[in-house]
């Protein structure tokens, strides 16, 4: 069966395309390149669906506020005027009329012309097909709106080249700051709470840029074996929660759980094959969460920040101590550790490489604790952690995590309780 599978794959997929899958498979006994390629294909499909919810929610939220902003500034529409019917029948470049200057600076006349040109192509298809539901109609503003790509919405938040000294880039950045202050911050009330600052725009811009890049990779069937899948989903849920927490919860119910399940089955080909029937991996004891109050002269927030910086400067590896170890009986299921400060203002999650309990424990090779500059109180329980990254918090709640009985984090820590097992929200 394996020989037949390889023979078919050799014909269907080029040798160069299979190389990264073969390289990764060699690290995991019992896993073949064909298994990883199948996982990559399945995950990509799930990710595209998940990202589509983010894209639709972002564009609808931004469009709503831009329409109000345009009206307040004397414009009929922030997209400008819809070309007359005769233009759709012709071949001249699209006119760019009635577009607010800030929009022209950020999107560029070319992007607006491209939008209407796509509508013209659609019109020609409608005209040729008498059975088309829009046969005999001309494209409307809604048709043009649908032509805008995820990249178009990102452009409205500004350029990502923050170090550029190019005048065009600097002008776009200035226009983005102004548009955010005047209109777009209102599209993300969960982030801004009506208190606007430019750091919010930059964070949102970077999150959307990362999500868009993932969308491009999975849409083109690229290898995504090395990405931190949970980190991307956490960013998606955070952006949705910035718009409306109820949207985030709803999307998690629709596709988020499928995304999580498929992601964690990368190296379990047999379980992946039976996934259609059920989620074969238990999730109730996969993540252990710790509430951090203070350690010596460090607050919980400062401890998390120190761990994040240490992980970033040591190839994604760090080492930390806590007061209480997880139960030994849960070790086969335990995969991740969630750190959250007592106030729910800062949180981070990472993969557990090893953990234990005892005095004078030497960290595993390559996993060193941060170089604490102030007094830090070491504890007996220890964790070697890789790929630690920050998780978004909102209103004292860690986005995307809860206990199995539905309690939010860190509200689930009652009294002197500092450790809980949690799952993905």
Residue-wise pLDDT for 373-421, tens only, equals: 888 788 888 999 999 999 888 888 898 888 888 888 999 988 778 889 8
- Provide the pLDDT for residue 9: 63
The pTM (predicted TM-score) of the whole model is: 0.73
Per-residue model confidence as pLDDT tens digits over 97-119: 999 999 999 999 999 999 999 99
Per-residue model confidence as pLDDT tens digits over 292-301: 888 778 888 9
In the block, residue with structure tokens 């690290």: 27
Per-residue model confidence as pLDDT tens digits over 153-177: 999 999 999 888 999 999 999 999 9
Q: Write b or e for each residue in 323-347: b if 16 or more Cβ atoms lie within 10 A of its Cβ, otherwise e.
A: eebbeeeeeebbebbbbbbbebbbb
- Residues with Cβ within 8 Å of 334's Cβ and at least 6 positions away in sequence, in order, are 285, 286, 287, 288, 326, 352, 355
Name the range with the highest mean pLDDT among 202-211, 267-276, 389-398: 202-211
Per-residue model confidence as pLDDT tens digits over 37-71: 989 999 999 999 999 999 999 999 999 999 999 99
């Amino acid at each position: 069966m394996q020989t037949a599978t390889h023979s078919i794959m050799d014909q269907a997929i080029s040798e160069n395309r299979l190389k990264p899958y073969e390289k990764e498979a060699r690290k995991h006994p019992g896993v073949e390149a064909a298994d990883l390629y199948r996982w990559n294909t399945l995950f990509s499909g799930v990710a595209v669906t998940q990202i589509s919810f983010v894209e639709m929610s972002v564009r609808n939220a931004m469009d709503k506020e831009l329409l109000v902003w345009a009206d307040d500034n004397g414009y009929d529409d922030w997209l400008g005027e819809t070309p007359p019917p005769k233009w759709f029948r012709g071949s001249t470049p699209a006119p760019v009329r009635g577009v607010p200057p800030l929009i022209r600076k950020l999107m560029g006349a070319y992007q607006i012309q491209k939008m209407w040109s796509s509508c013209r192509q659609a019109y020609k298809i409608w005209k040729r097909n008498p059975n088309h539901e829009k046969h005999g109609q001309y494209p409307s503003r809604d048709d043009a709106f649908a032509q805008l790509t995820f990249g178009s919405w990102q452009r409205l938040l500004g350029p990502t080249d923050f170090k550029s000294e190019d005048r065009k880039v600097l002008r776009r950045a200035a226009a983005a700051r102004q548009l955010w202050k005047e209109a777009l911050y209102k599209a993300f009330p969960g982030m801004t709470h009506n208190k606007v600052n430019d750091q919010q725009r930059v964070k949102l811009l970077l999150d959307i840029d990362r999500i868009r890049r993932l969308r491009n990779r999975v849409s083109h069937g690229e290898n995504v074996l090395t990405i931190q899948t949970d980190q991307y989903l956490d960013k998606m849920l955070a952006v949705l929660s910035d718009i409306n927490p109820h949207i985030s919860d709803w999307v998690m119910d629709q596709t988020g759980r499928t995304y999580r399940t498929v992601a964690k089955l990368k190296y379990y080909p047999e379980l992946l094959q039976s996934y259609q029937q059920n989620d074969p991996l238990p999730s109730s004891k996969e993540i252990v969460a710790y509430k951090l109050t203070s350690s010596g002269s460090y607050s919980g927030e400062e401890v998390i920040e120190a761990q994040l910086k240490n992980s970033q400067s040591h190839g994604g590896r760090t080492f930390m101590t806590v007061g209480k170890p997880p139960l030994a009986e849960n070790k086969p299921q335990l995969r991740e550790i969630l750190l959250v400060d007592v106030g729910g203002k800062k949180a981070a999650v990472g993969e557990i490489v090893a953990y234990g309990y005892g005095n004078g424990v030497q960290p595993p090779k390559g996993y060193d604790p941060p170089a604490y500059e102030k007094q830090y109180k070491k504890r007996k329980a220890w964790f070697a952690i890789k790929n630690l990254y920050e998780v978004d918090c909102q209103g004292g709640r860690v986005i995307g995590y809860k206990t199995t009985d539905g309690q939010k984090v860190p509200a689930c820590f009652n009294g002197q309780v500092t450790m809980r097992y949690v799952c993905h929200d």
